């Protein structure tokens, strides 16, 4: 254990300064050497997930020796033998997953400390210079050992006030992904209500003079976490940072290859892509609901404010899951007052001109511009056009939307309409400037929002344009999808059933239904598509799966 490094990290935290670190998951000790060379305050060597064994863990610890970089080991579970082994190998402390109760935290403290404070046994290993400095190591451990619990469940968050009473607990790390899973939103980084719960727990921790840690999922997120009061900041995991850097470099060069779904060494295209379709969808994606086609004018309608009407075309009323989409009509001069949601919202202007405000930031939208607003941000929309109603396509990351009205004054400032805007957390995509790509023959697509563009958003979506005979391959999704035809006429094929949609008619494609869209007319066809998943992922299957005879679910 490097007592001096631990003391320096504590001093920085006591001064309310951020301490920066890296999550280590790859086996090469060069990763930790790079972290040391970059002057990072800490690394966490992950022995819970991934494939690191104890020989590789000790090499990472050696790479941090005689440095000011604190090296912590995240254990696979709360276990006395694992704690003792990590500390005997020379770790500067431990990170304990899944701490939810006072009993959990007291056991972690006892396992990590020598008697009389704890029950840790004495070993003649690296930590004691092979038994030559046992007395010195015992004394230094008593004063400097780090035991960092990870709060990654609803129960852990609820118990935070009691956990703060446990002696020796000074840093609490949060695991948003597992916290979300425990709240019923597995697969989301921060599901509905989780961000708010973590921030509330963070406030309690800081009020007691203790410190909070969290991993960032982007550079923007990192800055926001500092502003929120987190002080033990993970820049990312080694593999995640590498992937992010590679993809950013590719995006800069104008390339965006498809993510491989397998590690199998092959020169073939990845399975489930247009070049290598699966013979049939995974059986785990067997659908439990039929598709639903809804013509504009026949959906459920609600008056949101004087002159503001929302017609839901996809939502709980037709059994959609985690998604509501529809058309909002604003009469001339109508205003939808400031409100906020506990889920993300995306708005695409179809007709007219509107002014959308997000906590005072004013965006003038032109037809086909999109603004996407993550949960928790207050926003409003007004139709200042001269004499014509404004039409907006709206997407909400829930099947049962609610809103909270906001009576707060926000200082106003106009935002530029000459480029894409990311201010606060919202994102504006200017249609005339947006990057296009092909998703199938004779098609042009734009991504408006997804978790790569906006890490906090729970859904994904964008715009698609189909020329004559433009089409998508037969495919399925692991989530529900809404497709609104805003221009021209589309033919929608679902497992051999054919539908025609136009004039804002909208298809609900439930999870697992094999489908594709094609433009069989001489005029362009355009759509707004929205997925109830954070990334625009699809599994391409053999064309026969979209026929009556080849329907894989019959």
pLDDT at 264 over 60: no
Average pLDDT over residues 260-272: 53
Helix (H, G, I), strand (E, B) or coil at 248: helix
**What is the Cα–Cα distance from 391 to 504, expressed in whole angstroms?**
10
| Residue 392 tokens, joined | 């907006």
Average pLDDT over residues 151-175: 96
pLDDT at 20 over 70: yes
pLDDT at 486 over 80: yes
The model's pTM is 0.55
Look at residue 246 in the predicted model and tell me its pLDDT. 86
**Which residues, including other chains, have CB under 8 Å from residue 416's CB and lie 6 or more apart?**
none
Look at residue 425 in the predicted model and tell me its pLDDT. 80
* Residue 395 DSSP one-character state: E
Look at residue 96 in the predicted model and tell me its pLDDT. 97
Domains of the chain: 3-250 (3.20.20.60), 283-546 (2.60.120.10)
**What is the Cα–Cα distance from 174 to 204, expressed in whole angstroms?**
13
Look at residue 6 in the predicted model and tell me its pLDDT. 96
**What is the Cα–Cα distance from 218 to 451, expressed in whole angstroms?**
10
pLDDT tens-digit readout, 65-76: 999 999 999 999
Contact, 198 vs 179, CB < 8 A? Answer: yes
**What is the Cα–Cα distance from 155 to 102, expressed in whole angstroms?**
11
pLDDT at 321 over 70: yes
pLDDT at 232 over 70: yes
**What is the Cα–Cα distance from 47 to 78, expressed in whole angstroms?**
12
Look at residue 227 in the predicted model and tell me its pLDDT. 95
**What is the Cα–Cα distance from 74 to 211, expressed in whole angstroms?**
18
**What is the Cα–Cα distance from 491 to 518, expressed in whole angstroms?**
5
| Residue 467 tokens, joined | 């020329």
Look at residue 384 in the predicted model and tell me its pLDDT. 81
Look at residue 348 in the predicted model and tell me its pLDDT. 98
Average pLDDT over residues 176-197: 86
Average pLDDT over residues 378-388: 88
Average pLDDT over residues 283-309: 95
Average pLDDT over residues 324-330: 97
Look at residue 265 in the predicted model and tell me its pLDDT. 39
Residues annotated as catalytic are 49
| Residue 535 tokens, joined | 């990334």
Look at residue 58 in the predicted model and tell me its pLDDT. 96
Look at residue 254 in the predicted model and tell me its pLDDT. 60
pLDDT at 267 over 60: no
Kindly report which listed range (36-40, 230-234, 289-293, 550-554) carries the lowest average pLDDT score. Answer: 550-554
Average pLDDT over residues 440-467: 92
Rounded to the nearest integer, the mean pLDDT of the chain is: 92
pLDDT at 256 over 80: no
Per-residue pLDDT band for 181 (boundaries 50, 70, 90) equals confident
Instruction: State how far the alpha carbon of 155 is from the alpha carbons of 98, 336, 384, in Å.
Output: 10, 38, 48
pLDDT at 545 over 70: yes
Per-residue pLDDT band for 266 (boundaries 50, 70, 90) equals very low
Per-residue pLDDT band for 420 (boundaries 50, 70, 90) equals low
Per-residue pLDDT band for 263 (boundaries 50, 70, 90) equals very low
Contact, 514 vs 281, CB < 8 A? Answer: yes
Indicate if the alpha-carbon torsion angle 363, 369, 375, 380 is positive or negative: positive
pLDDT at 108 over 90: yes
Q: Which residues of 156-167 are buried (b: 16+ CB within 10 A; e: fewer)?
A: bbebbeebbebe
Per-residue pLDDT band for 13 (boundaries 50, 70, 90) equals very high
Look at residue 101 in the predicted model and tell me its pLDDT. 96
Of residues 283, 276, 287, the one with CA closest to residue 541:
276
Average pLDDT over residues 126-137: 91
Of residues 82, 60, 58, the one with CA closest to residue 69:
60
Per-residue pLDDT band for 219 (boundaries 50, 70, 90) equals confident
**Which residues, including other chains, have CB under 8 Å from residue 554's CB and lie 6 or more apart?**
none
Instruction: State how far the alpha carbon of 327 is from the alpha carbons of 289, 488, 542, in Å.
Output: 24, 17, 34
Q: What percent of the chain has pLDDT over 70?
A: 95
Average pLDDT over residues 315-337: 96
Look at residue 269 in the predicted model and tell me its pLDDT. 62
Look at residue 456 in the predicted model and tell me its pLDDT. 84
Helix (H, G, I), strand (E, B) or coil at 415: coil
Of residues 354, 348, 408, 417, the one with CA closest to residue 377:
408
Q: Which run of H or of E encompasses 109?
A: helix 102-112
Pairing of strands 335-340, 404-405: antiparallel
Q: Which residues share a beta bridge with 213? A: 173, 232
Average pLDDT over residues 481-505: 97
Look at residue 253 in the predicted model and tell me its pLDDT. 66
Per-residue pLDDT band for 257 (boundaries 50, 70, 90) equals low
């Amino acid at each position: 254990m490097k007592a001096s490094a631990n003391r320096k990290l504590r001093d920085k935290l006591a001064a309310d300064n951020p301490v920066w670190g890296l999550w280590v998951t790859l086996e090469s000790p060069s990763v930790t050497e790079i972290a040391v060379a970059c002057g990072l305050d800490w690394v966490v060597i992950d022995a819970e997930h991934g494939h690191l064994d104890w020989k590789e863990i000790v090499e990472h610890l050696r790479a941090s020796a005689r440095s000011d970089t604190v090296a912590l080991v995240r254990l696979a579970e709360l276990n006395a033998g694992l704690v003792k082994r990590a500390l005997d190998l020379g770790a500067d402390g431990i990170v304990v997953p899944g701490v939810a109760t006072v009993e959990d935290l007291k056991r972690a403290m006892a396992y990590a400390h020598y008697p009389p404070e704890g029950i840790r046994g004495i070993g003649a290993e690296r930590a004691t210079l092979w038994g030559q400095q046992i007395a010195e190591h015992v004394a230094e451990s008593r004063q400097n050992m780090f035991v960092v619990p990870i709060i990654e469940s609803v129960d852990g968050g609820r118990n935070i006030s009691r956990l703060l009473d446990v002696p020796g607990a000074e840093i609490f790390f949060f695991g948003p992904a597992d916290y979300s899973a425990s709240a019923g939103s597995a697969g989301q980084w921060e599901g509905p209500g989780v961000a708010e719960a973590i921030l509330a727990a963070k406030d309690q921790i800081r009020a007691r003079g203790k410190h909070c840690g969290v991993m960032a999922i982007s550079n923007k997120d990192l800055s926001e976490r500092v502003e929120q009061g987190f002080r033990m900041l993970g820049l990312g995991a080694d593999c995640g940072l590498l992937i992010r850097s590679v993809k950013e470099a590719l995006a800069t060069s104008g390339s965006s290859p498809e993510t491989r779904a397998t590690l199998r060494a092959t020169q073939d295209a990845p399975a489930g892509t247009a070049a290598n379709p699966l013979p049939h969808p995974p059986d785990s994606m067997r659908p439990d609901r039929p598709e639903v086609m809804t013509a504009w004018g026949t959906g459920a309608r609600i008056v949101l404010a004087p002159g503001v009407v929302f017609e839901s075309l996809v939502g709980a009323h037709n059994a959609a899951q985690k998604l509501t989409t529809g058309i909002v009509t604003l009469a001339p001069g109508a205003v939808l007052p400031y409100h906020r949601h506990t889920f993300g919202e995306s708005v695409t202007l179809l007709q007219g001109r509107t002014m959308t405000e997000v906590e005072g930031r004013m965006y003038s939208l032109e037809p086909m511009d999109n603004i996407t607003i993550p949960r928790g941000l207050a926003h409003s929309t007004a139709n200042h056009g001269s004499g014509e109603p404004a039409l907006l396509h709206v997407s909400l990351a829930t099947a049962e939307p609610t809103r909270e009205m906001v009576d707060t004054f926000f200082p106003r400032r106009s935002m530029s309409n000459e480029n894409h805007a990311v201010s606060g957390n919202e994102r504006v995509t200017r249609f005339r400037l947006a990057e296009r790509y092909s998703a199938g023959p004779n098609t042009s697509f734009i991504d408006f929002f997804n978790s790569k563009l906006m890490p906090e958003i729970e859904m994904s979506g964008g715009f698609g344009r189909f020329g004559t005979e433009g089409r998508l391959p037969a495919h399925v999704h692991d989530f529900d999808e809404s497709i609104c035809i805003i221009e021209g006429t589309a033919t929608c094929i679902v497992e051999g059933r054919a539908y025609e949609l136009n004039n804002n008619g909208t298809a609900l494609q439930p999870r697992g239904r094999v489908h594709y869209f094609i433009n069989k007319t001489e005029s362009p066809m355009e759509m707004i598509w929205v997925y109830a998943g954070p990334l625009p992922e699809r599994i391409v299957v053999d064309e026969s799966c979209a026929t009556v005879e080849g329907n894989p679910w019959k």
